[in-house]
Structure 1
């Protein structure tokens, strides 16, 4: 009987300590901003059990000392860096460019995460297409893939962004290990518990720990996916004529040539637009000319009639 009472007191003390630790950890996790998978709540149990007393509390305190989230990761462990590229292209052969892009993605064993092609962009009375793609490429091949992209069209802008999530990843791993230790302790206590209230309390705590473990595992999987596969955002704009690219090393003769070509292109384009406008406006121009003609005839007749009356 005394042994049963002692075990019940020990179990209730342990549950109280774990609950206090979980509350403290929830506040701490909000400050650190650990990445989470969609649909989960970021409330993490605390990594330590220093507040507990007795044999189980002491063992848990030692577990936390062995798994210190603040301790720096080993230099042998690779860094976790998420790399993102953004590239803008223009092309006069939209279908061919998209086809070449698809082949290049297959070559590097990547995949298109999402894509969007719009067909309703107008310029100079012509319809042009625009494609936006989010592409995932294995991180070790991302630079080679990016280099080969220069061949699919005329690149007009590019940017690279890197995010180091190493600390975030290690902290999440540490919390997962602490939860595993808590789970083992509670499973051991469940085997010894013979009081129905203690069993219910332990099972509730166990359910919470399992939920949090799944949450942290999903976070790690999400980070692993972002690290192992670089994301490349590509925007492809269909144009009638590629823009000329000049830099400080461009020769004077080349600049003159480009200026002449641009001038001729602008004149021809303007002339085409004027002809098209005149054709579109022809019915209105004819109607306006007819109205002016009738008005002229009426005014002329009135003037002749007035001159006759004056004579």
Structure 2
């Protein structure tokens, strides 16, 4: 009997323990569930608040800087993706440079002919230098010319054909197509940013906002001027090729001839010319002496004539006596 009572007590205790454990576990699960829901609600609230703040800053003038930078970066990326396709669809821009060194018989005639060819082809002379060589008795010089790209190869050919000898000729080209396309894309992007800043400026109501937008606008407009200037420079260089010409006059003089290397007939001609030059020089000196000293010679002649007459008369008187 006592054993039965003890067994019933143990069973009841186990039941209560099981009930307590199940109850505690249920409370624990409920607490975890509430915590997760609370965390999710907090995250959603934070995201909603962040979204509202972003929308408000994007719609007000004070948030223009970040919005403008995002717009510019996005457009720059799009421009970079399409740049390769654009390069293949446009005329390539190549800067040509040519260097010539020629010999001519008459320097001034060669320069005049080159200037005429340049003018006929719509080009112009950038620089022209001339210097003489006293030892050789010749004239040398240099010319720097800008000539339209579609004319410059023909121009170089004409210059070479008009010279006595071509000492050096070289042509080089620099392809700036990719740089030019990149500048065009950047310029379009900057204009979009400029228009957007102008729109924000019209909507701005606070002085602080106006000052901030004006500063950004001035910076963008300065970048637009730099890009435009670089594009004009590349366009001009590509449209007009630069040609530099070194001109040497090949003038042969008699003083430079070595008599030991001449043949007999040439030596005879040289000696004949020297004899004529000697006679001309002698008679020329005598002629200059006579006519240059004519007044003195006339006075001396008169004195001599008078002296001769006096002596002659005195001689006759002596003979009579």
Q: Same fold (TM over 0.5)?
A: yes
Instruction: Please give the secondary structure, in 2, of the residue aligned with 1:68.
Output: helix
Task: Tell me whether 1:11 sits opposite 2:11 in the alignment.
Answer: no
2:193 alignment counterpart = 182
- Paired with 2:259 and 2:212, the residues of 1 have a C-alpha distance of 80
- Equivalents in 2 of 1:65, 1:104: separation in Å? 47
List gaps (5 residues or longer) in structure 2.
1-52, 275-321
Pick closer, same or farther for the CA change 1:111–1:205 going to 2, 3 Å: same
Partner residue, 1:136:
146
Unaligned runs of 5+ in 1: 22-48, 50-56, 242-262, 276-311
Matched, 1:63 2:75: yes
The reply to whether residue 229 of structure 1 matches residue 240 of structure 2 is yes
Give the greater-gyration-radius structure (CA). 2
Match of 1:145 in 2: 155
Q: Write the distance in 1 (CA, Å) between the matches of 2:89 and 2:260.
A: 60
Runs in 1 of length 4+ with deviation above 6 angstroms?
263-266
Listed one character per residue, the Cα deviations across residues 138-183 of structure 1 (whole Å, up to 9, x for unaligned) are 1111111111112331211100101111111111111111111110
Structure 2 distance, partners of 1:155, 1:267, is: 28
Secondary structure of 2:238's match? helix
Find the partner of 2:136 among 126, 134, 149.
126
Distance 1:175 1:69, change over 3 A: farther
- CA distance, structure 1, for counterparts of residue 260 and residue 65 of structure 2: 79
Distance 1:203 1:164 in 2: 38
3-state SS of the aligned residue for 2:241? Answer: strand
C-alpha change, 1:265 and 1:91, in structure 2 (3 Å) is: farther
Equivalent residue runs for 1:19-34 within 5 Å: none
Query: Does the CA-based 8 Å contact 2:97-2:171 persist in structure 1?
Result: yes
Conserved 8 A contact 2:102-2:248:
yes
Note the aligned Cα RMSD (angstroms). 3.3
**Cα separation, 1, equivalents of 2:259 and 2:180:** 55
Where 1:140 maps in the other structure, the secondary structure is coil
**For 2:84, what is the secondary structure of its paired residue?**
coil
Q: Measured at CA, do residues 69 and 210 of structure 1 come closer, stay the same or move farther in structure 2, by a change above 3 Å?
A: farther
Match of 1:114 in 2: 127
| Counterpart for residue 292 of structure 2 | none
Distance 1:169 1:208 in 2: 22
1:16, distance to aligned residue in structure 2 (A): 5.0
- Alpha-carbon distance in 2 for matches of 1:229, 1:220: 14
TM norm structure 2: 0.57
* Preserved contact between residue 100 and residue 244 of structure 2 (Cα < 8 Å): yes
Secondary structure, aligned partner of 1:155: strand
* Pairing 1:93–2:106 present: yes
Q: Could you list the per-position Cα deviations for residues 61-105 of structure 1 after superposition, in whole angstroms to 9, with x for gaps in the alignment? A: 653454236731432211111111100011221111111111111
Question: Post-superposition shift, 1:212?
Answer: 1.1
Aligned residues: 209
User: What displacement does 1:265 show?
Assistant: 8.9
